Amino acid sequence: MRIGIVNPYALDVPGGVQLHVRDLAEHFIGQGHHVRVLAPADEDAVLPDYVDPAGKAVPVPYNGSVARLLFGPVTAARVGRWIDRGEFDVLHVHEPFSPSVSMLAMMAAEGPVVGTFHSSTMRSRVLLTFMPLLEPHLEKLSGRIAVSREALGTIQRHEGAADAVIVPNGVNVDRFAQAPVAAQWQGNEERPTIAFLGRLEEPRKGLAVLLDAMPRLLAARPGLRLLVAGPGDPAEALRHTSAEVVAACEFLGMVSDLDKARLLRSVDAYVAPNIGGESFGIILVEAMSAGAPVIASDLPSFRDVLDGGPAGVTFRTGDAADLAATVLSVLDDRQRRDELSALGSVRARDFDWSRVAADVLDVYETCRAAHPEPVHTASTNRSRRMLRGRG
Amino acid sequence: MRLFAWTAFVVAVLALLAWYLSYTAARLDRLHARVEGSVASLDAQLVRRAEVVRELAGAGVLDPASALLLADAAGASLEASDAADLKEEVREDGIGVARTATESALTQTLRATLTSDVVVQLRDEEDGLPELLDLLRSAGQRVEIARRFHNEAVREVRRLRARPQVRFLGLAGHTHLPTPVEFDDRLPDGV
């Protein structure tokens, strides 16, 4: 099958959508499909050979932070040419709500177009104002995928009644399950280790909640080590903590994919203290794949990933005392940890790429059956078609 | 001069109105085409599922009673699809009530015969049976997806056609108002 995938965000900035697009494309290529990915990137950037650069992304303030997006008439024309050149059987646009190449591709394309909605953190008011203008274009999507029930909720908040097929984000489970254990991160009875992964300065990742819980944890287990991986300034994060807590924290900075897997393979528990804004929680799946017992805040998306309970333990979101009690109950019970690890490994298989990519392919095939002709643009007689509402 | 200005204004308003109406009509046209596509896809996925079930029934590994029940339900589904083709009912009216009953019946037969124990047994068989089960899973999933996408397209047509300007001006012409398709399409557990 000839598959075109459009990714709205700059590829050189790490992010959930970018990783998802990369893994999905590589999985389909491995199966023998023809895949092209369109993404914002410099012409001379070093890219995987299946990526077509759409031009340099521009940093613009959007949705409460600075996003690197790509738009404008030149880009729109380029996107249109890419679609026509590609002769795709299916066009798959990611985050069609974000004002970047995905939205432009959705507007230009006709035929079997699939949209995947990732986010649950959209600032609704701006978008709601624009919905009447976007609506005719969203109607062109022949199939929609939401990565979680939270993401489906985002669609419904903007469009009212709407439906989508839920296909979760994928993980290469074996890459985590087979990573070598790292002795320096392994815990023992005296000095157990717990891990946190995420941007230090992003409040919704919840590092502050975990640090608030640290004095209680250290009172019960003085040898506890907290391993923190992720970009950010440790001094800033530790500003209001005691010397005792500072001594128990080890900052690893940004880690490679391999080190991330080794870290998760080695620790006694993985803690996800996020306080909101997560539509999926891929990191929980990665931790489960590596066999790390997962202790997470009880956000709806996290509870869904943990299969409603058995595959991990949850505590009240934002509650440091509950977090501390929960972590201690897991660290004190060897058998419980082994159980959690085993159940987590089984649950993680539901998110393995082999399964997820097959589900996405089912969506493609369904949409192709509805539109047997390849994707094309309405660029011929463009002005006349615009006038008639087919722009 | 004032008369000229007023005339120009009225002409502009009328032109804008005409553009808006033709824009909406084109949008409706596109949505109707999408519904035709999605119902054709649903029809195709139903046929595919019935064919996989028939193959499973004929594979000679299930007990004869289960095989007979499955073959019967799959046959009914394929017949319903053939009948729909003859009447061109699929494109015009979507999937009719009688057909949804047939498809629900096939789903229920699948759930009754392929219990989780049976599925576990079949997974251990050789001769391409695990592959056949995977095909069944994929076919069942595509039915689910196709029905969702179809109902989504139907909802969007109905939303636009509910607008007063579309209703009173008859922008939808004589096109049949599509209705959502409801039937039981849950896969058996464990497949």
Find the helix or strand (DSSP H, E) in which A250 lies.
strand A249-253
Q: How many residues does chain B have?
A: 191
Q: Give yes or no for B24 touching A (CB within 8 A).
A: yes
Domain-wise residue ranges, chain B = 23-169
Q: Give the pLDDT score at A120.
A: 62
Q: Give yes or no for A369 touching B (CB within 8 A).
A: yes
Higher pLDDT, B126 or A219: A219
Q: Give yes or no for A114 touching B (CB within 8 A).
A: no
Write out pLDDT tens, residues B50-68. 999 999 888 878 888 888 8
User: Do the beta carbons of residue A325 and residue A214 sit within 8 Å?
Assistant: no
DSSP state of A204: G
Write out pLDDT tens, residues B4-41. 899 999 999 999 999 988 888 888 888 998 998 999 89
Residues 6+ apart with CB under 8 A from A290: A176, A177, A179, A261, A264, A265
Tell how strand A225-229 and strand A249-253 pair up.
parallel
Torsions phi, psi for B46 (to 5 deg): -65, -40
Rounded to whole angstroms, how far apart are CA atoms A217 and A328? 7
Do the chains contact at A161 and B31, CB–CB below 8 Å?
A: no
Residues 6+ apart with CB under 8 A from A366: A143, B41, B45, B142, B145, B146, B149
Q: What integer is the mean pLDDT of B147-161?
A: 91
CA A47, A48, A51, A52: dihedral to nearest 10 degrees? Answer: 40
In Å, what is the CA distance from A290 to each residue of A36, A74, B28, B89?
31, 45, 50, 52
Rounded to whole angstroms, how far apart are CA atoms A235 and A212? 16
Q: Which two tokens stand for residue B122?
A: 């079949």
Q: Which of A44, A59, A63, A82 has its CA nearest to residue A10?
A: A59
Q: What is the DSSP string of A147-189?
A: SSHHHHHHHHHHHSS---EE-PPPB-HHHHHTPPP-GGG---S
Do the chains contact at A388 and B38, CB–CB below 8 Å?
A: no
Q: Which two tokens stand for residue A193?
A: 């280790």
Region label for A187, one of left (φ > 0), alpha (ψ between -120 and 50) or beta (otherwise): beta
Do the chains contact at A162 and B152, CB–CB below 8 Å?
A: yes
Q: Which two tokens stand for residue B184?
A: 């039981």
Q: Give the pLDDT score at A381.
A: 44
In Å, what is the CA distance from A102 to each residue of A83, A303, B124, B161?
12, 30, 44, 28
Q: Which of B94, B109, B79, B113 has its CA nearest to residue B184?
A: B109
Q: Give the pLDDT score at A391.
A: 40
User: Do the beta carbons of residue A83 and residue A57 sit within 8 Å?
Assistant: no
Q: Give yes or no for B148 touching A (CB within 8 A).
A: yes
Q: CA of A388 to nearest chain B CA: how many angstroms apart?
A: 5
Q: Give the pLDDT band of residue B93 (cuts 50, 70, 90).
A: low
The CATH architecture of the domain made up of A173-350 is 3-Layer(aba) Sandwich (3.40)
Do the chains contact at B30 and A161, CB–CB below 8 Å?
A: no
pLDDT of chain A along its 391 residues, tens only?
999 999 998 887 777 888 899 999 999 999 999 999 999 988 777 888 999 998 888 887 776 667 778 888 888 889 999 999 999 999 999 988 888 899 999 988 988 999 999 876 555 666 777 778 888 888 889 899 999 888 888 888 887 777 889 999 999 999 999 999 888 998 888 899 999 998 888 888 889 899 999 999 899 889 899 999 988 888 888 888 888 888 888 999 888 889 999 999 999 999 999 988 777 888 999 999 999 999 999 998 899 899 877 888 999 999 999 999 999 999 998 899 999 999 999 999 999 999 999 999 999 999 999 888 889 887 644 544 555 554 4
Rounded to whole angstroms, how far apart are CA atoms A10 and A40? 5
Q: Which of A64, A9, A24 has its CA nearest to residue A277?
A: A64
DSSP-based three-state secondary structure for B131: helix
Q: Which two tokens stand for residue A82?
A: 């890419």
Torsions phi, psi for A133 (to 5 deg): -75, -35
Do the chains contact at B27 and A358, CB–CB below 8 Å?
A: no
Residues paired with A227 in a beta bridge: A195, A250
Do the chains contact at B138 and A358, CB–CB below 8 Å?
A: yes
pLDDT at residue B128 tops 60: yes
DSSP-based three-state secondary structure for A136: helix
Rounded to whole angstroms, how far apart are CA atoms A257 and A264? 11
In Å, what is the CA distance from B157 to each residue of A109, B13, B18?
20, 27, 21
Residues paired with A52 in a beta bridge: A38
Numbered ranges of CATH 3.40.50.2000 in chain A? 2-170+352-387, 173-350
Find the helix or strand (DSSP H, E) in which A158 lies.
helix A149-159
Q: Give the pLDDT band of residue B49 (cuts 50, 70, 90).
A: very high
Q: CA of A299 to nearest chain B CA: how many angstroms apart?
A: 27
Q: Which of A142, A162, A389 sits opposite B23 (nearest CB)?
A: A389
User: Do the beta carbons of residue B177 and residue B155 sit within 8 Å?
Assistant: no
Quote the pTM value.
Answer: 0.83
Rounded to whole angstroms, how far apart are CA atoms A153 and A280? 12
The CATH number given to A2-170+352-387 is 3.40.50.2000
Q: Give the pLDDT score at A351.
A: 93
Comparing alpha-carbon positions, the chain A residue that sits nearest to B46 is A366
Rounded to whole angstroms, how far apart are CA atoms A380 and A103? 20
Rounded to whole angstroms, how far apart are CA atoms A37 and A9? 12
CB < 8 Å from A in window 85-124 of B: none
Q: Give the pLDDT score at A38.
A: 94
